[in-house]
A and B are shown apart, each in its own frame.
Chain A
Amino acid sequence: MEFLSYLISGISLGSVYAIIALGYTMVYGIAKMLNFAHGDVIMVGGYMSFVAMSALHLPGWVSVLAGMAVCTVLGIVIEALAYRPLRSAPSLAVLITAIGVSYLLQNSAQLIWGANPISYPPVVSGTLHLFGGQLSISYVSLVTVAACILIMLALTAFTSKTKMGKAMRACSEDKGAAQLMGINVNRTISLTFAIGSALAAVAGVLLCSSYPTLMPTTGSMPGIKAFTAAVFGGIGSIPGAFLGGLLLGIIESMAKAYLSTQLSNSIVFAVLIIVLLVRPAGLMGKYVPEKV
């Protein structure tokens, strides 16, 4: 029973990572950049829904939509102002810019809401008791897992079935060729950032509902972990990000429970290192050798 409850909390945490990783992997796939600000969009999503709920007294689900709307716009704006001018710049320049954006978001949040953690009212509350109370699962966990699966399926369908989704895949293969085929590359990249940021907002709400504190740096570590998850599963691959996120969450939860609380992050990262050494392109990624 104990094992089962750790497993469930791992799956729930992993689902949050997976949702962030899905956004990360799409953005990376198309823009080929480590968007370090992605984690901070999660935090913005959290604060936005917090404001919607506590200041505007809107119901939970509306607050999620509000967070998503703000983050979508934020994602598009960040891409247009900070990343688009650097499309042909060296990747390190873009990376540093992303770090700048990350600092900017964190410090703006700190100016508005202060550096101290605030307690976040969960969007979904209550717990499901099973086996005569031996096993309890919070409704947030169930919602998180369901949301994650739903998002994964929707994204898979979107990228394989719709015209925009196909354009997205074309752009991530070869921007130049996509442009020649009449695809509006700028708009496609904007859309990818919009989707990624909306997902980050969802993840922010779910994350804060499970771990009900919120501060300007809330998004950093989950952001890094989610990127790790995306790499773990094979960056650019949607099922890979899903699988990577879930596995990462489960490993983290199990490591905390059975090995060492202090070293839980180390264990997660150690697994990542081993996976990359055995499969250099992640679990589900394609390894493309350099052409000579």
Chain B
Amino acid sequence: MKTKKKIAWGDYITYIGVTAAFIAVTALKNGGALNRSQLGLLVPICAYITMAISLNLTVGVLGELSLGHAGFMSIGAFSGIIAAMSLSELIPSAGVRMAIAMVTGAVFAGIFGFLIGIPVLRLRGDYLAIVTLAFGEIIKELINCLIVGYDSAGLHILINFDGSKTASDLELLEGGKAIIKGAQGAVGTKTIASFTAGYILIMIALFIILNLIRSRAGRAIMAIRDNRIAAESVGIEITKYKMMAFVTSAAIAGAAGALYGLNYSSLTAAKFDFNTSILVLVFVVLGGLGNIWGSVVAATVLYILPEALRSFADYRMLMFAIVLILVMLATNSSRTKALFEKLKSAKKEEEQ
């Protein structure tokens, strides 16, 4: 029972840590201590932290490797942009529109998560991974075919499979505006995303996932991860709980996408490619599988790291790669593990 209390404390520390960081950064920001490029990082960091938390649900808690998480971010980003832009006259408050955009992003990503989950969750291991990768690429190409605009008559959506159509084919009425122009992506988006919105999103995502893990459903999901056959044998509906984790994960990624998308006046689907999925996966693995607080820290540090290395200009990505390899070798190789074990047991002996 001791450990139980410890775990619950860990959750509170996560909330407190995130809040403290938010307050500190806001103070720095208001005090004018941050330069332009640092300010520009705030919202993307929040989006990537949320992405990492949500992917941790699939990879760390459910135990299925997903290589297409950026696809859900993409769906969330573009559906969120459409929602926010088309409501810009109806709802003047940017905050409310931001909230609606994130909910829309979450809903659409959740729906796609469900549809994609039907085939994906029937597969296992690396096969599942390669199919999530495939879906990520498919989403990217499909969004590249999307042309969307709005006018007084409502939303106009065109799907441009053969590459022959442009925004003018939407035939918008006077005063209408194109929101997404095919491969050019979203253009002229009003950037309503804010650091506060990002903070709230992280807190909601943390609340959902941490509480889920400590509930009946979360235990079922972790049971599937640890031993699928045993989980079946105690009457857990594998498909239902896998889907629950996958859809929740996708929906949160969608909300993160909406936050990210509304932070830039122009955005293409190519931003959410395989490399983005991998980047988020790196955050999750380095932060520790199933360790939500670890994801938050890893996402923050690793997102800032390449920026901090900017003074090394050309070498920064190279250094990032080397750091990544060294960290993995240091934390996972059998030799260093044996060393840690030794230290641990030595410490235990001392305590006794």
Contact = CB atoms under 8 A, between A and B. Distances in A.
Direct contact between A and B in the complex (CB less than 8 angstroms)? Answer: yes
Interface of A: 28, 34, 36, 82, 85-90, 92-93, 95-97, 99-101, 103-104, 107-108, 110-111, 220, 224, 227-228, 231, 235, 260-263, 265-266, 269-270, 272-273, 276-277, 280-281, 290, 292
A85 B334 contact: yes
B130 A228 contact: yes
Nearest to A84: B333
Pick from A107, A111, A228, A290 the residue with the most CB of B within 10 Å. Answer: A107
Contacts of B333: 85-86, 89
Contacts of B59: 92
Given A104-B321, A227-B130, A280 B334 contact: no
B129 A34 contact: yes
B163 A261 contact: yes
A101 B286 CA distance: 16
Contacts of B183: 262
Contact of A276 (B131, B145, B229, B332): B131
13 contacts: A34-B129, A85-B332, A87-B334, A96-B282, A111-B318, A220-B274, A235-B126, A262-B141, A263-B141, A263-B161, A273-B119, A273-B131, A276-B131
B289 interface: yes
Contact of B123 (A86, A269, A280): A280
Nearest to A36: B278
Tell me what chain A mostly uses at the interface: helix, strand, loop, or mixed: helix
A148 to B, nearest CB: 22
Contacts of B328: 86, 93, 96-97, 100
B186 interface: no
B130 A82 contact: no
Given A92-B59, A273-B131, A263 B142 contact: yes
A269 B137 CA distance: 8
A266 to B, nearest CB: 4
B127 A231 contact: yes
A96 B324 contact: yes
Interface string B26-54: 00000000000000000000000000000
Contact of B286 (A36, A96, A227): A96
Contacts of A104: 318, 321-322, 325
Nearest to B320: A103
Nearest to A277: B119
B244 interface: no
Contact of B285 (A92, A220, A235, A276): A92
A208 to B, nearest CB: 22
B324 A99 contact: yes
B281 interface: yes
B213 interface: no
Given A266-B141, A276-B123, 13 more contacts: A93-B332, A97-B324, A110-B317, A224-B133, A260-B161, A262-B145, A262-B183, A263-B142, A266-B138, A269-B137, A273-B135, A277-B122, A292-B229
B321 A100 contact: yes
Contacts of A36: 278
B135 A269 contact: yes
